[in-house]
Chains A and B, each alone.
Chain A
Amino acid sequence: MEVNTYHLAPFVIYDDYDEHGYLLDLKQGILEELDEQSTSMLSAVLKAPSVEEAITALSSCLGGEELEAHMEALLTRLQEQRLLESGHKAPLSRPTPVTRLHDEEERAPRPVTVKQRLRGAGHILVVLNDLRKVQGLFRAYQYVHQIRDTMAVLPEDAALRLSREEYWLYRLVTGLFERRIAHQLGQERGAEGLCMIRAFALCAYLLSLGVPAQVVIARPKYGSRSGFKLHLWTELHGKPLNEAPNIRDRFRVLTVFPS
């Protein structure tokens, strides 16, 4: 092999729980699942300084002369899918600092105005519209980052109170469109997975009000009767807002954003 160092492509998240690898590409909006052997190989490649060392480490458990060929086939395939890149990883740019009110600790909680709600509803509609488009997940991902980058953060208590009191508006607006969007995304009628739509909509609305909400993408730890491979929800300071408080016990978090 010519190239002996690999890393994940930007916006790709890898998890090897239960020897069942998940490669989630936020940019392309795809989830690639790996079988047991491929999971072992990719985990080894990402951990080891070089492919050769990964093969050496794996040869004791996977063994066989075909290991090298399998490894090459896997790495080539993942590169073609733009999930994996060769060479050294470029350093990550630092996230944009969030705008904060100077007097945020002292700021008294004020009721949400009609104007704020209308603006918030607009953010919900934009993020829902983004989700329908090509690379919808990534567009929505970028959109919540944009809101976050320009928001003024409320103190924790006020944020929690707003997330409770303003839930109805998010539900009302989102509920009008969520199923239609799910169907446009190819989901089956009567068995729609609405969590992605809801998580982005709630996050966008709360961010617009100054509540530093985040979207969590996670995979089931104990299997899923519904068959869904991923689950999304919204959190505030680590507290799930539209899920049970112990939801993280059931799921393995892959990513949380905007950070």
Chain B
Amino acid sequence: MPHFINDYFGFYGQRTSAPGVTKTVCWRLGEPGAPFSGTHGAIQWVRPGSSEFPAPLPPTEAGQIFLAGLIWSSENSLQALSATLGSSILTRRYEALAELSVNAAGCLIATSGIYLWTGTASNDHAFFRIEGDQLSWSTNPLDLVFSQDDLHLWNLRRCCHGDDAFLYRQEKIQRVEQGHLVKIERDGNGAMHVEDMTFDRFLPDPHLSSGRLSREHVVSRTREALQQAVRPLVCGKPVGMMLSGGAGSAALLLAMKQAGVNVIAYHLEPEEPEASEYRFAHLACAALNIPLVHIQMSSGPDYLSKDWMFPHPDGHPWVRWYEQIADRARQDQVDLLVTGAGDDHAFGPEMEYGVHSILAAHIRSREKQEMLRGLLATDWNIYDILKSVRPGRQLIGLTHLAGPSQADHQMRRADFLSPLPPYTREIDPALLHSPVFTPQGMSVELTILQPRGIRLYYPYYHREIQALSLALPDAYRLMPAASLPPHIARMVPTLERVVDKPILRLACEGTALPQEVIWRTWGICAMAPIQSFCLNHTEQLWDILAGDSCLIHMGMLDPARLHEVLKSRARIRENYTSLIASALVEVFLKKAFREQCQRGGPLWK
């Protein structure tokens, strides 16, 4: 039976033009062996922890394979898996490569060159660097850093504002795009050539791409796709679900229950009642008879740690909370966590919605009429509704469903940083679509989850769900509540007047999942526990941000401004995201980045 192979946690390698065979070793992540002698070598990092040492991938005729991520395999042996992958790459028949490593990155060291690839939905990414005659590659971009010159300073500034920007200069540290295979080979003169190929991409569901759609048909396909997405988890081993209590994570929990997955739900609850979703998580688990582990979110001094070894600055305020879940999962012998992230992109609105979206959709006329009528009972302005007949005029904005706003054009407020001249805001790719490479996601995986032997699976990035998503008309990604079936529309005003992810929610209708969980469209005050930390630990923030501060040395942070911000509760609230993001950037610069720069390049020379 097909299953996830979950033993391979990363790889690293380096070669020069000097003759010689590339030595390979297989080490537990975080437990490196003695440095090699010579300049060629490659490491397969495997699962850390006390369990049995995972078997290394055997060499094949094609060469030596290295992997990182979740490998979806029906092969009975690692030998066969390696052979299939190697053959797929060398013969350029990529179906097997696409299927097996959709959630993984890999490397093949062959006589014809080095091949690096990243799966279309992979959380692990292959990076490489060519410097003189030295080629190095890794799943951790920090391994490839030589000095401060590798930093992209504008992106460093963006990271301080909490943007999900890649910090390193991409002309130096290159990333293999998702769904791409890169071949690096030397010619007779020793010059390196890079060939970049697309080996996989998600395609729209052909069942939904032709003819008129009906809501019922799309809902039915959604249920099927959800089942496909959780099928790899049916292995008897316990799987941890990171359950927020929102419709996206609850829908996955339901699908897992229906598929017979041995699932434990983990829920983080803050102290602040207005930021708590526990009630909804509890309702979902009680209805589905799934064990729920309640974890109290920490907003104390441990919320920020100077010891975190980030491969990249992480501006995400959830680092500590991921750590709490990971610690609990390890205690429960759970090595695979499932997240509901990606539901918004798969089933929610993209950047387009308006009358034109409804008129242009290949859906039934009756549904269109209901939607158009329903638009009048929303908070959108009548002139905007009429103008949205034209394809370029959207009713929704980047940061708010209510419409385009000034916030769409500005980074988060950071009054303690040096003022900026006028700039154009760059949009994080993750805000626009997924699956996509997110530096913050990579950072959490490499810093928190993988060192604990835990991997993260995103069912909403599954091929079937992505295929459905690609075929989903904009008119089905957002619906006026008044256009939904009457028993749902009657929930207004408890239900908001515009409902996002309506198809996903409708797919949960008629199941054990409570209506209160399915149709909760509103979010909680997620900022409350983060602001609590900032308000109650100003000295800690000052210590990290102003004590021997790299950001001050770089001229990016102004200590006088920081002092002004930290002495006012109102200004701390206005700047809380960038305070945390900047503190995490500072932790990165002071700890992991400094150590890497001191080492200065390849793992061995």
Interface residues of A (CB under 8 A from B): 18-20, 36, 160, 163-164, 167-168, 171-172, 175-176, 178-179, 190-191, 198, 221-226, 236, 239-242, 244-246, 249-250
Contacts and interface: CB of A to CB of B under 8 A. Distances in A.
Contacts of B496: 244-245
A45 to B, nearest CB: 21
6 contacts: A19-B570, A171-B378, A221-B525, A236-B493, A244-B521, A246-B522
B383 interface: yes
Contacts of A223: 527, 531, 570, 573-574, 576
Interface range on chain B (Cβ under 8 Å from partner):
35 or more
Contact of A222 (B377, B531, B568): B531
A171 B382 contact: yes
B381 interface: yes
Contact of A226 (B383, B407, B494, B522): B407
Contacts of B413: 225
Given A179-B383, A226-B405, 7 more contacts: A18-B569, A20-B570, A164-B493, A167-B497, A171-B382, A223-B570, A245-B522
Interface string B191-228: 00000000000000000000000000000000000000
Nearest to B571: A223
Interface string B357-387: 0000000000000000000111101110000
Contacts of A240: 493
Nearest to A191: B406
Nearest to A19: B569
B531 A242 contact: no
A164 B490 contact: yes
Nearest to B574: A223
Contacts of B376: 168, 171-172
A225 B407 contact: yes
B522 A190 contact: no
Contact of A164 (B492, B524, B569): B492
A170 to B, nearest CB: 9
Given A191-B405, A222-B528, A244 B383 contact: no
Contacts of A172: 376, 382
Contacts of A176: 382-383
Contacts of A179: 381, 383
A221 B528 CA distance: 9
Contacts of B382: 171-172, 175-176
B274 A250 contact: yes
A19 B568 CA distance: 8
A222 B406 contact: no
Given A163-B493, A178-B381, A226-B406, A246 B524 contact: yes
Pairs of residues from A and B, 3 with the lowest C-beta to C-beta distance, nearest first? A249-B274, A223-B573, A175-B382
Nearest to A160: B493
Given A178-B381, A240-B493, A249 B406 contact: no
A36 B376 CA distance: 45
A83 B497 CA distance: 39
Nearest to B521: A244
A163 B569 CA distance: 38
A146 B369 CA distance: 39
A249 B413 CA distance: 22
A236 B378 CA distance: 18
Contact of B406 (A19, A20, A190): A190
Interface string B371-415: 000001111011100000000000000000000111100001100
